[in-house]
């Protein structure tokens, strides 16, 4: 490059350089490190390197970009335009050559590392750069005088043309010779960057796309997203129940099953792998694909599901010191885990953080990136076990709290899964009368048309988020005191408070036939224990950081997505924080899996992050017990609720006092 | 180390150094690079580091080695001696500590890199250093405050204690936790050096040995040797017919079968893998082992068998330019090739030299090491295809000659495989009367007791080496002329020359019942074509090196082991060379496989050598055709035969001339 050479400026990057006349735009881009895609390596086949020259006087760049600054539209471009069509104004970067000063725009779809914008404002963008790349290569033909295998010449071509070292399994090797001859010595390889393995070979130019699956393997449900690895687009989503439920509803009962039944681990491994294959079948069908189209899977799970899926006996996770067989990430052939995808497909599992804080929590950390946060964030993934992450860019702590299944509607008298017919939202008025909404129905129960709308499903129970709202509303209405006790009809002043053995229950709904839907004192006790465990975990982490409050709270998990922040705080599930600073991350573990599927660098990133996260084992921290005991009460909230309150319970309401709860609340 | 520190001298290496008082002999050996074994890393468990202190005045070393120069016999040694017994005078190198100047002898069995002496004088020794090592490690126990997987702690231990980076498959990972707990946090790993994979884990100290198989996969037979990987000892040998014979006797007919029958390659891959599993079953049974005891296999084969075994379609090898799908070596899980050994067992295949010169020829090159030879050596591996290597330490050439199956007794009227009953050696007297010996029988046919000895088998035919001797003897006796024509009874003067259509045949044996055993003119034509191809290949290589003779000839292969050098030269199979310089290497391909099994470094060595061997493709060399045509004649030999003669045929004998062949020969 000399000062006399034409100047080339790329937008939007602003990268610039001088290049000899006749330099292809693709080569100029590569030399400057401009993010311009190419699968065919500049052969005018793939059209990935499309660029838009910008002509005119660019005063900000100080150059005049004239139409003759590029070589003329050539036959390769014309042929490509004929067959596939080039958008107006576009050129192929490998064909257009520099003749004078020029400004070149790289459209978003020509960038290798496309960004996928996530919906939530605080969420990071995902840069699409998957573990598997399509590489078109031109292979030297065999020469009797220099005998070498077709594969060795393919390896040499990949090294020369793409600077990668490649290996291949026997089945892929077996397809090489016909592919080379059919493709006239050009083939496209699906190249897995971390292992250096060629996963598949196509004759000539294969445009793709390749597909992958992000799986969140939960104790109760298995959720999968099928993604286009080139665009990041989610083409199908599917979920099914974890069939291991028949061996035990919660994780510890599954570990017990293994302890009691020799070979029980193998049995559970088999059923969960079968379930994944069922899911693979369903989700590919949904997307009009076949399992063989799937080349990569990223799977996240809690430690016990992680072990059971991988065929590792989880018994050590059931007892101190909760030793994982494997804590690191794994990148193996998917077939090794019995998965039926493309025969060469890969499986990546995220690392586990600790014996109780799994690869699912690592995925949450990847998605929510507390380690990059400026402010102090508490991330809570609520499930049978709640995983908590607390920290910022300086330091991140993690722990797990044994909340039990109450938040998921188990152990709740009228509890049920979040399905049509379940009460999901509830408000209790000053008259102690409830109004509620059902899952999958936008009408409140006192709105016109509600009854017609629920004819089909009926009103069948309360789901996890419903019970939280119900108890919080009961507390705010003065039906429940700080200790969690429901008042009697006489104490509270409503016939909805009925006798329930030695305690009371609050009737939300009484159908013409069938059982009443109530919140019993037993229900409140179960929720109190669960929320106290959750809160104590958060407090323990806050102690370790010597803080009394957090800047923001992220609720993760399907359950977290449906919890009302206000009610969770009334209940004392989470520490004090402005309500608007409590956000839901949806299925953050699934999102983390999807990030690791679409962006190779994120795998190394989360592996490093997990190594730096400080693990706190709640089981051996005396402070956890103290916080737990202190957190069983239900703090009282003044109305209007702002979220800015001390966690310390307000002076208790008491049904025996002259000033009843109702009066107190109105004060 | 200071000048004041005691001096330690190791024998037989002569390595010496000064060490601080209290240094363990094992540590001193390691620091000096003395070859002293240890599996347990100095824990007094494995006893591999046994040494013998030599006491007395060593004037050649200038030191006085006194009995108090080592620490006293300690409890670890006493316990070991009690349980397993230590030979008299031996100490454990990890327990005995330096107190003064001392001479330490390292017995052969304590050396890591034991040498296996091969029987033939010119053969290289094999240094035992297999690809799989047993490593005892002590793994840190889990700690809830620093959660990490048991596997990650095993990795850290292997890196700290043995300086290796290790990975493991899911089934091995699944066995880790119970092994660690049973072994009280000590486990022995079978570590595969090239892949870094842990193949198996045993609780505590596992002494071994591990076993491996060296396989020579031929077109006709499959031969295997089961070796102790620690000593190199061959514990069992077994062979079976290649079941692919039913798809075609020779390689090209198998390639044709694939061309004619879609899926025929898969069929042949299946049967040959089944046969290998049968062989694995038989050979392990012989050695009182199970297939699961086998951890490594090295396999060599010609290119077509190599491809068929690996599941690679061989059709490209059937036509120019004879492109191999894969020419390099392969180191993969044995299970990938359908082999039933230990589930984690490895498979290594040697590289192929060219489309016609396979991994078997590479194995011959490894065994016979022409690239290390001072003198010019021609190595001939005779089979359906003959592979030839010619060269010395400066340069090595290779080619393959299409000899056809005549040398193996096929296409020969009375031909048969080398089995009991087959004529293997033959001499024809001045009276044209033959005497012969059968396979598996030491008596000549004119010796007393011969008839009784052969009652059981009968005299059934001629094997490959028998036909070579027969034709050479017939030529020397004057029964056959230089053009290969058998004279008539009248021309030669013996009733053993009978009419056989338009030509004649020579009767070797005429049983009371059943067909005569004869050599027909058709037989001679077949052998002439085969030997001319072989000779032309050798000539072609000699042309390339611009030489007219070679210093020595090595005959390899089962057939090569049985050929009489003298007769081969009379026939003109091999170029001129002193007879005593013609040696047999036996199954050199099998030996090469065994070397690669027992010595890891030899794999890199042969991979490099193969890259340097110059490949000559006979099919496209016009000179090959010329040499072939010129070599069809059978050169006449003067008696006594010395081997030192010009290859140019002597003036032809002619049955029409007055001076018959008999007269001429006696001249």
> Per residue in B471-481, pLDDT tens?
999 999 999 99
User: On the CB side of A532, how many CA atoms lie within 13 Å of its CA?
Assistant: 21
Which chain B residue's Cα is nearest to A309? B170
Would you state the pLDDT for residue A66? Answer: 87
Would you state the pLDDT for residue B168? Answer: 97
Copy the structure tokens of residue B228. Answer: 């102790």
pLDDT of B396 strictly over 60: yes
pLDDT of B663 strictly over 60: no
Q: What share of chain A is helix, strand, coil (3-state, %, to 5)?
A: 35, 25, 40
pLDDT of B619 strictly over 90: no
- For an interface test with A, give the residue of B144, B146, B171 to mutate (most A CBs within 10 A): B144
Asked if the Cβ–Cβ distance from B327 to A142 is below 8 Å, we say no
Q: How far away is chain B from the Cα of A403, in angstroms, using its nearest Cα?
A: 20
In whole numbers, what is the pLDDT of chain A averaged over residues?
89
Instruction: Find out whether A462 and A416 touch, Cβ atoms under 8 Å.
Output: yes
What integer is the mean pLDDT of A469-488? 92
Which chain B residue's Cα is nearest to A315? B177
Would you state the pLDDT for residue B153? Answer: 97
Q: Phi and psi at residue B76, in whole multiples of 5°?
A: -65, -45
Q: Which range has the worst mean pLDDT, A132-136, A586-590, B197-201?
A: A586-590
Name which of B141, B149, B322 is nearest A324 (Cβ-Cβ).
B149
What integer is the mean pLDDT of B435-458? 89
- Three-class SS state of A29: helix
pLDDT of B311 strictly over 60: yes
What integer is the mean pLDDT of B273-302? 97
Would you state the pLDDT for residue B513? Answer: 81
Asked if the Cβ–Cβ distance from A150 to B619 is below 8 Å, we say no
pLDDT of B492 strictly over 80: yes
Name which of A147, A170, A177 is nearest B615 (Cβ-Cβ).
A147
Would you state the pLDDT for residue A245? Answer: 82
Name which of A177, A323, A337 is nearest B313 (Cβ-Cβ).
A177
Q: Which residues in chain A are contacts of B310 at CB distance < 8 A?
A: 170, 173-174
Would you state the pLDDT for residue B454? Answer: 83
- Three-class SS state of A474: helix
Q: How far away is chain A from the Cα of B204, in angstroms, using its nearest Cα?
A: 18
Q: How far away is chain B from the Cα of A114, in angstroms, using its nearest Cα?
A: 34
The Cα B166–Cα B172 span in angstroms is 12
The Cα B14–Cα A155 span in angstroms is 46
Assign B119 a pLDDT band (cuts: 50, 70, 90). low
Instruction: Find out whether B76 and B84 touch, Cβ atoms under 8 Å.
Output: no
Q: Which range has the worst mean pLDDT, A229-233, B409-413, B569-573?
A: B409-413
The Cα B301–Cα B224 span in angstroms is 12
Name which of A176, A325, A327 is nearest B147 (Cβ-Cβ).
A327
Name which of B144, B149, B617 is nearest A320 (Cβ-Cβ).
B144
Assign A587 a pLDDT band (cuts: 50, 70, 90). confident
Name which of B143, B323, B326 is nearest A142 (Cβ-Cβ).
B323
Q: How far away is chain A from the Cα of B165, in angstroms, using its nearest Cα?
A: 14
Assign A116 a pLDDT band (cuts: 50, 70, 90). low
pLDDT of B640 strictly over 50: no
Asked if the Cβ–Cβ distance from B328 to A170 is below 8 Å, we say no
Pairs of CB atoms within 8 A across A/B: 138
Asked if the Cβ–Cβ distance from B145 to A316 is below 8 Å, we say no
Q: Which residues in chain A are contacts of B328 at CB distance < 8 A?
A: 149, 151-152
Chain segment A165-211, per-residue pLDDT in tens: 999 999 999 999 999 999 999 999 999 999 999 999 999 999 999 99
Q: Counting Cβ atoms within 10 Å, is residue B612 exposed (0-12), middle (13-18) or buried (19+)?
A: exposed
The Cα A33–Cα B109 span in angstroms is 59
Q: Which residues in chain A are contacts of B150 at CB distance < 8 A?
A: 316, 323-326
Q: What ipTM was assigned to the predicted interfaces of this complex? A: 0.85
Asked if the Cβ–Cβ distance from A147 to B174 is below 8 Å, we say no
**What percent of chain B stands above pLDDT 90?**
62
Chain segment B231-250, per-residue pLDDT in tens: 999 999 998 988 888 888 77
Name which of B177, B310, B354 is nearest A316 (Cβ-Cβ).
B177
- For an interface test with A, give the residue of B143, B166, B168, B177 to mutate (most A CBs within 10 A): B177
In whole numbers, what is the pLDDT of chain B averaged over residues?
89
Pairing mode of beta strands A102-105, B434-438: unpaired
**What percent of chain A stands above pLDDT 70?**
94
Q: Which residues in chain B are contacts of A169 at CB distance < 8 A?
A: 332, 336
Q: Counting Cβ atoms within 10 Å, is residue B603 exposed (0-12), middle (13-18) or buried (19+)?
A: buried
What burial letters (b/e) apply to B214-230, b meaning 16+ CB within 10 Å? bbbbbbbebbbbbbbbb
What burial letters (b/e) apply to B553-563, b meaning 16+ CB within 10 Å? bbbbbbbbebb
Which chain B residue's Cα is nearest to A172? B312
What integer is the mean pLDDT of B625-646? 66
**What percent of chain B stands above pLDDT 70?**
94
Q: Phi and psi at residue A437, in whole multiples of 5°?
A: -125, 150
User: Going from the N-terminus, what domains does chain A have, and what CATH number goes with each?
Assistant: 7-110 (3.10.20.30), 131-203 (3.10.20.880), 211-349 (3.30.420.480), 362-405+527-630 (3.30.420.40), 410-515 (no CATH)
Asked if the Cβ–Cβ distance from B144 to A177 is below 8 Å, we say no
From chain B, which residues contact A within 8 Å (Cβ)?
Answer: 141-152, 169-171, 173-174, 176-178, 310-313, 316, 320-328, 332, 336-337, 352-355, 615, 617, 619-620
Would you state the pLDDT for residue A656? Answer: 34
The segment with the largest mean pLDDT, out of A417-426, B292-301, B554-563, is B292-301
Q: Which residues in chain B are contacts of A353 at CB distance < 8 A?
A: 147
Q: Which range has the worst mean pLDDT, A629-633, B1-5, B443-447?
A: B1-5
What integer is the mean pLDDT of B15-20? 92
Asked if the Cβ–Cβ distance from A178 to B313 is below 8 Å, we say yes
Asked if the Cβ–Cβ distance from B326 to A152 is below 8 Å, we say yes
Q: How far away is chain B from the Cα of A622, in angstroms, using its nearest Cα?
A: 14
Asked if the Cβ–Cβ distance from A313 to B178 is below 8 Å, we say yes
Name which of B170, B322, B327 is nearest A311 (Cβ-Cβ).
B170
The Cα A507–Cα A85 span in angstroms is 66
Q: Which residues in chain B are contacts of A144 at CB distance < 8 A?
A: 320-322, 355, 617, 619-620
Q: Going edge to edge, which strands form the sheet with B132-138? A: B132-138, B186-192, B197-203, B167-168
Name which of A150, A328, A354 is nearest B324 (Cβ-Cβ).
A150
Cis peptide before A321 (omega within 30 of 0): yes
Assign B205 a pLDDT band (cuts: 50, 70, 90). very high
Asked if the Cβ–Cβ distance from B143 to A352 is below 8 Å, we say no
The Cα B388–Cα B537 span in angstroms is 7
Name which of B321, B328, B337 is nearest A144 (Cβ-Cβ).
B321
Would you state the pLDDT for residue A647? Answer: 36
Q: How far away is chain B from the Cα of A450, in angstroms, using its nearest Cα?
A: 52
């Amino acid at each position: 490059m000399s000062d006399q050479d034409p100047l080339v400026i790329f937008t939007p990057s602003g990268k610039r350089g001088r290049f000899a006349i006749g330099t292809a735009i693709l080569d100029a881009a590569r030399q400057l490190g401009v993010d311009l895609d190419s699968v065919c390596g500049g052969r005018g086949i793939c059209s990935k390197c499309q660029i838009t020259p910008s002509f005119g006087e660019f005063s900000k760049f100080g150059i005049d970009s004239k139409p003759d600054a590029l070589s003329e539209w050539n036959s390769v471009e014309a042929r490509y335009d004929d067959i596939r069509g080039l958008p107006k104004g576009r050129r192929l970067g490998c064909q257009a050559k520099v003749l004078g000063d020029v400004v070149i725009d790289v459209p978003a779809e020509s960038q290798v590392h496309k960004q996928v914008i996530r919906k939530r404002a605080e969420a990071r963008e995902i840069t699409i750069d998957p573990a598997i790349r399509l590489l078109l290569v031109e292979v030297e033909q065999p020469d009797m005088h220099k005998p070498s295998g077709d594969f060795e010449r393919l390896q040499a071509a990949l090294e020369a043309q793409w600077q990668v070292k490649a290996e291949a399994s026997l089945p892929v090797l077996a397809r090489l010779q016909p592919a080379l001859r059919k493709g006239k010595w050009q083939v496209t390889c699906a190249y897995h960057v971390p292992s250096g393995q060629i996963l598949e070979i196509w004759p000539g130019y294969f445009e793709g796309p390749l597909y992958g699956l992000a799986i969140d393997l939960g104790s109760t449900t298995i959720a999968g997203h099928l993604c286009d690895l080139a665009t990041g687009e989610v083409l199908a989503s599917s979920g099914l129940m974890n069939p291991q439920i028949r061996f035990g509803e919660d994780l510890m009962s599954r570990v017990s099953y293994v302890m009691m039944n020799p070979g029980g681990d193998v049995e559970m491994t088999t059923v969960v792998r079968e379930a994944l294959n069922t899911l693979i079948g369903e989700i590919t069908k949904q997307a009009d694909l076949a399992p063989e189209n799937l080349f990569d899977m990223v799977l996240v799970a809690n430690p016990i599901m992680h072990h059971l899926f991988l065929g590792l006996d989880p018994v050590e996770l059931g007892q101190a010191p909760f030793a994982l067989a494997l804590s690191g990430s794994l990148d193996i052939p998917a077939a090794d885990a019995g998965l039926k995808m493309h025969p060469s497909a890969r499986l990546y599992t995220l690392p586990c953080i600790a014996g109780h804080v799994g690869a699912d929590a690592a995925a949450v950390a990847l998605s929510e990136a507390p380690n990059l946060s400026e402010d102090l964030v508490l991330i809570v993934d609520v499930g049978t076990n709640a995983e908590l992450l607390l920290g910022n860019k300086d330091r991140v702590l993690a722990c797990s709290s044994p909340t039990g299944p109450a938040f998921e509607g188990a152990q709740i008298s009228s509890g049920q899964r979040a399905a049509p017919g379940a009460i999901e939202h509830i408000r209790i008025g000053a008259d102690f009368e409830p109004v509620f909404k059902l899952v999958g129905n936008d009408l409140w129960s006192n709105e016109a048309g509600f009854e017609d709308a629920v004819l089909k499903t009926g009103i069948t129970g309360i789901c996890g988020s419903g019970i939280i709202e119900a108890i919080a509303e009961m507390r705010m209405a003065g039906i429940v005191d700080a200790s969690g006790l429901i008042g009697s009809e006489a104490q509270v002043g409503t016939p909805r408070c009925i006798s329930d053995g030695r305690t009371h229950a609050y009737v939300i709904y009484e159908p013409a036939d069938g059982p009443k839907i109530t919140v019993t004192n037993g229900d409140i006790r179960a929720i109190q224990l669960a929320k106290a465990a959750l809160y104590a975990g958060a407090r323990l982490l806050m102690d370790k950081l010597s803080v009394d409050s957090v800047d923001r709270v992220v609720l993760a998990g399907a359950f977290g997505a449906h919890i009302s922040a206000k009610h969770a705080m009334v209940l004392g599930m989470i520490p004090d924080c402005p309500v608007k600073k409590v956000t839901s991350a949806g299925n953050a573990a699934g999102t983390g899996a999807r990030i690791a599927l679409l962006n190779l660098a994120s795998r190394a990133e989360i592996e490093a992050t997990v190594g730096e996260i400080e693990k706190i084992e709640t089981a051996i921290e005396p402070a956890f017990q103290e916080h737990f005991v202190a957190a069983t009460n239900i703090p009282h909230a003044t109305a209007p609720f702002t979220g800015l309150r001390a966690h310390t319970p307000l002076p208790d309401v008491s049904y025996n006092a002259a000033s009843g709860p109702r009066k107190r609340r109105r004060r």
